[in-house]
Amino acid sequence: GAVVSQHPSRVICKSGTSVKIECRSLDFQATTMFWYRQFPKQSLMLMATSNEGSKATYEQGVEKDKFLINHASLTLSTLTVTSAHPEDSSFYICSGQGVDLPRRTEAFFGQGTRLTVV
């Protein structure tokens, strides 16, 4: 399968600061990137979908000004949590989907980022 690398794997930040999480597709061009959030012992909730070169589409209830998503190239998408608060502490996972079959029919996941806001 294709490889998606997510960085950092863990980050601790102070309340009020911003944190950037990177998601890179290493061996394919990810035209679409998905960002998920997972609370402890819960399922993954889709936050937003981004297509390369376009603005991200956010799911209902997700603050687009707080969770800034950039997908400027076919191999890199970033999620920036702005003015982080303790309630933003969570596990964030990205996934990428390409244009060429079979990658067009499957999304490949990064390793996830554990964000802790203190």
Give the binding site for another protein (CB under 8 A).
1, 6, 31-32, 34, 41-46, 49, 51, 57, 91, 93, 95, 97, 104-112, 114
Q: Nearest CA to 4 among 117, 118, 112, 116?
A: 112
- Minimal distance in Å, beta carbon 32 to another protein? 4
Cβ closer to another protein: 72 or 99?
A: 99
Which residue shows structure tokens 């600061």? 17
The pair of structure tokens assigned to 15 is 């309340």
**Residue 104 phi/psi, 5° resolution?**
-75, -20
Cβ closer to another protein: 25 or 31?
A: 31
- Minimal distance in Å, beta carbon 110 to another protein? 6
- Minimal distance in Å, beta carbon 70 to another protein? 17
